[in-house]
Chains A and B, each alone.
Chain A
Amino acid sequence: MSNKKNKNLNRRSFIKNIGVGFAGTIAAAPLLKSHAKKLPEEIKDSLDGKVEVTVYVNGRKFRRNIFPQTTLAQFIRDELNLTGTKVSCNHGECGSCTVLIGSDAVYSCQMLALDADQKFITTIEGLMKNDELGEVQKAFVDKDGLQCGFCTPGQIISAYALLKKNPAPSEEEIREAMSGNLCRCGAYPKIIESVDAAAKLLKK
């Protein structure tokens, strides 16, 4: 399968054929299995229905052969072992899997890795400045903008995306930009303070 052909998979056909989450994986697996069975054993391992994808993550280039239904979140976690990006709902409802594509915050569970082909992605690991915390990370530490830490990478990425576009957001703008990231510990008051503090740190 060529890369180009796969890139033509649009979202609707993706959902129709593969679906997302539980039902999708059930539907997908037998399909792939039957496909795999037709191939000679020796090339099954190398292909096995996989397609090539190239992404630039945190400034590094990665080329991998993946199943076409692999979400970007799965790709980042399982292929690249960048487990800072979390999957919680896998349905685009909680924001734990938020990453940057270019300068936009996106739910990586709602995007195919194939659709990120040739794109520049930043995950929480990419916000580090060598061994030092980035400004947004620093602000979340200073203001204690977290409790259990599970939603934190997504929160920080969303905050970072906001501040890239709007270096001095009002509280209302902070709420708006962060509203796609749920925090069950309810650290919201401190998350708002953290984003505000990050804005000030970035200005320096």
Chain B
Amino acid sequence: MKNADVINHVKGTSLFIDDFPAPEGVLHIAVFDSKIACGKITKLNYDKVLSVPGVAAVITAKDIPGENQIGNIVSDETILADGEVEYIGEPIAIVAADTVENAKAAANLIEIEFDELPAVTDPREAYEKGNLIAPPQTFSDGDVEKGFAESDVVIDGRVDIGGQEHLYLETQGAMAVPSEDGKIKIYSSTQSPTAVQRAAAKVLGVPMHKIETDVLRLGGGFGGKEDQATPWAVMTALVSRLTGKPAKLILSRQDDLRMTGKRHPYSADYKIGLSRDGEILAYEATYYQNAGACADLSTAILERTLFHATNSYFIPNVKTTGISCKTNLPPNTAFRGFGGPQGMFVMETAIYKAAEKLGVPAYEIQKKNLLKENDSLYYGQKAERVQAERCWNEAAEEFNLQEKFAAVKEFNEKNNLRKKGVALMPICFGISFTSSFLNQASALVHVYTDGSVGVSTAAVEMGQGVNEKIRSVVSQTFSISQEKVKMETTNTTRVANTSPTAASSGADLNGNAALLACNNILNRLKKFAAESLKEDDPAKVEIKNEKIFYDGKETGMNWESFINDAYFNRINLASHAFYATPEVYFDRTINKGRPFAYHVYGTAIITAEVDILRGVCEIESVDVVHDFGKSINRQVDLGQVEGAVVQGIGWLTMEELVQNDEGKLLSNSLSTYKIPDIFSAPKEMNVKFLEDSENPFGPLNSKAIGEPPFMYGIGAYFAIMNAMKEYNPNADKEIRAPLTHERVLMSLKNLK
């Protein structure tokens, strides 16, 4: 069964913010941003702007009626710079005019002067200067010093990991429409409707109930619209408040690339100790996170790096330290995996290097150290329903791993200028927001008198199919056709205090909330049915395929007439329900707890081919066994895995963010920042669903899907490294992502 959205998408009738019919008199906003990465504003003059025809308002920090503050975790982020700027692209003023062209032309007339200060863009440099977002955080378990002392082999090294631009194809945007009594409705392309509502209320100096956020759908989010959809939405509300008119802001692609944060680049030091036979005895890592100029979600992201530092492996002695470093770049932010990928990449690097040292293939070390049932994860959680070894073994068997190795070996023996490499990538990804309070959701289910159903939840649809899944949950619970169920927009007046649709948790939290709401209505309906039938046991009432049964026998009532009867008998046909994930907590005084409801497991086998003369790499195949739990929708889940793998491969092999020393983004267009196109997608991708995986925490026993498969992409990096080694065993060993074609070529020839 298909999501109704799919039909609208292929017709071209589904609406994104820029497609909404603009209300009469709508003002268009241009953002005037900083051209320097660090300094004080010494002059800001916009007299000329006001004389431009069509200009309705110019707004700077001093015009903000409420608080000039949109920081989510730490209050360190202004909506409009006040006196000083900390990155190129930082908004300083906004101009509202009758057309986009007039607004931009007018913004260009703003006169500004700065006292420029030197910019810091490197996280290690920021650390040395003491520029930190928050104090460093350390997780530890066992005794690493003892572990290293007992190890036969100890190696250490450094890893540098690039960031990643979200490049949601729908750029950031919002539209605000004023209503009576100072109320403003914001249509936003946000993953976090309540964050928009809260920030707008704060900046406007009004209670949250004056602001309504409505989200229809997003043209991609990937984390980039979790915290960073907020400023643009707030700007529209601000213009609306100050002018009394509707206001709209759609960032151009270049503005979006320049002004918004990305996946965090990391620099890390690691040390790993192993026994002679490959058992990992100790692991230590320090992560220097390039947070950019403001905290945004950096501290939470860094914490997830620590949680995932050991990936799928049991290691008895671990110590990890995360340092969030403040630099003069746009605030880096959430991106699929939320710090997990960086942590896992460092772990995989350590294993890769250890394998070289021990003279064994990395997969032997990987396999040997996979998590087992009841192993203790180093942050204190016991690993339960562990599928690490099952996924690994099934992948090896299903995809004929030994034959693959043999074929690659043969290929490499026959070819001098093309080499292949294989790498395995097991994953273990924790599901739940690690800020435990966020693990809550509400749903509002309305059954209308004709039997059709409207469902509102906190979940935001951004292509990940969450609406489709919730619709399945509702239609299955009522046992009515999916066509009868409509997913409504995500709206803060229908569902309050929404957690962001993030952390892969959208379907889990909101699906469970919807399930509870449906059951509330169902219980009332069963009681009513029993009464109408003059029977005494509501538990014997059953609805199957829109027919009402009692004690297994058909009653002649169908869903539509039954609902209508229920209405006339004053049965409550609406329910609001609340779900909070049970048993999750984390004690930050000792950095131990049970932060995750459960973990998602899987293993990918990646084969890459490298053209030695040109450095060009192709991902030949990605073969995956993945633990979906009991998938609610296999097609949606499969799409999520395939898409995540493509995005993960992009992150590590082609997407290169380049800034100059002044903090200016040079890879500022799609011609200089390359994301995977259809040629970069693996030539072959096979995904096998792990059978018989149960998950009591997911709706209908399903498991979260959005982020975990992203990390299969890490295997692409090491598959390419393995292929390179076949040509030049002494190829440059520096671990620096992304491993672009250019870097492959330089490494192969040992050039810098």
Contact = CB atoms under 8 A, between A and B. Distances in A.
Interface stretch (A8-16, A21-29, A110-118): A21-29
A81 B100 CA distance: 17
Interface string A173-204: 01100110111111111111000000000000
Contacts of B7: 133, 141
B644 A186 contact: yes
B13 A84 contact: yes
A25 B253 contact: no
A26 B104 contact: yes
Contact of B676 (A81, A84, A186): A186
A148 B670 contact: no
B8 interface: yes
Interface string B204-240: 0000000000000111101000000000000000000
A96 interface: yes
Given A83-B12, A124-B11, A26 B105 contact: yes
A151 B168 CA distance: 10
Contacts of B650: 186
B212 to A, nearest CB: 23
Contacts of B9: 146, 149, 152-153
A29 B679 contact: no
A125 interface: yes
Contacts of B42: none
A25 B463 CA distance: 32
A152 to B, nearest CB: 5
Interface residues of A, number: 58
Interface string A126-141: 0010000100011011
A87 B18 CA distance: 9
A3 to B, nearest CB: 22
B643 A187 contact: yes
Contacts of A156: 10
A188 to B, nearest CB: 4
Interface SS, B side: loop
A30 B104 CA distance: 11
Contact of A153 (B12, B105, B463): B12
Contacts of A123: 12
Given A25-B104, A144-B639, A185 B220 contact: yes
B646 interface: yes
A81 to B, nearest CB: 8
A88 B170 contact: yes
Given A83-B19, A123-B12, A184-B675, A147 B463 contact: yes
A124 to B, nearest CB: 3
A108 interface: no
A133 B219 CA distance: 22
A61 interface: no
A96 B12 CA distance: 11
B102 A29 contact: yes
Contacts of A153: 9-10, 12
A125 B11 contact: yes
A7 interface: no
A85 interface: yes
A80 interface: no
B670 A147 contact: no
A179 B104 contact: no
A141 B11 CA distance: 10
B16 interface: yes
A174 B683 CA distance: 13
A32 to B, nearest CB: 8
Given A33-B53, A191-B678, A22 B169 contact: no
Interface string B274-289: 0000000000000000
Interface residues on B, range: 35 or more
Most buried by B among A28, A85, A183, A186: A186
Nearest to A32: B101
B669 interface: yes
B677 A182 contact: yes
A144 B2 CA distance: 9
A88 B677 contact: no
A165 B679 CA distance: 21
Given A26-B108, A186-B644, A181 B678 contact: yes
Contact of B169 (A26, A29, A179, A184): A184
A91 B101 contact: no
A125 B19 CA distance: 14
Contact of B168 (A21, A30, A152, A184): A184
Contact of B642 (A26, A82, A146, A186): A186
Nearest to B222: A184
B101 A137 contact: no
Contacts of A124: 10-12
Nearest to B636: A144
Interface centre among A85, A123, A181, A188 (most CB of B within 10 A): A188
Given A149-B5, A151-B169, A25 B15 contact: no
A124 B9 CA distance: 10
B169 A88 contact: yes
Contacts of B220: 147-148, 150, 184-185
A128 B254 CA distance: 33
A85 B12 contact: yes
Contact of B167 (A91, A184, A188, A190): A184
A76 B217 CA distance: 22
Nearest to B646: A186
Interface string A29-44: 1100100000000000
Contacts of B457: none
Contacts of B647: 184, 186
Contacts of A188: 642, 646, 676, 678, 681
B750 interface: no
A71 interface: no
Interface string B635-672: 11001001111110010000000000000000001110
A187 B105 contact: no
Contacts of A184: 166-169, 220, 222, 647, 675
Contact of A28 (B52, B101, B645, B679): B101
B219 A175 contact: no
Of the listed residues A141, A181, A189, the one surrounded by the most CB atoms of chain B closer than 10 A to its CB is A189
Interface in A67-114: 77, 81-91, 93-94, 96
A123 to B, nearest CB: 7
A150 B6 contact: no
B619 to A, nearest CB: 12
A81 B171 CA distance: 19
Nearest to B253: A89
B100 A150 contact: no
Contact of A22 (B19, B104, B222, B464): B104
Given A128-B11, A137-B11, A188-B646, A94 B252 contact: no
17 contacts: A26-B105, A29-B102, A82-B12, A86-B170, A87-B18, A94-B169, A124-B12, A133-B10, A150-B169, A150-B463, A179-B678, A181-B678, A184-B222, A184-B647, A186-B642, A187-B643, A188-B642
Interface of A: 21-22, 25-26, 28-30, 33, 77, 81-91, 93-94, 96, 123-125, 128, 133, 137-138, 140-141, 144, 146-153, 156, 174-175, 178-179, 181-192
Given A148-B220, A179-B679, 4 more contacts: A133-B7, A133-B10, A150-B169, A179-B678
Interface of B: 2, 5-16, 18-19, 21, 52-53, 99-102, 104-105, 108, 166-171, 217-220, 222, 252-255, 462-465, 635-636, 639, 642-647, 650, 669-671, 675-679, 681-682, 685
Closest A-B pairs by Cβ, 8 of them: A84-B12, A148-B463, A186-B646, A149-B9, A150-B219, A124-B12, A186-B643, A147-B463
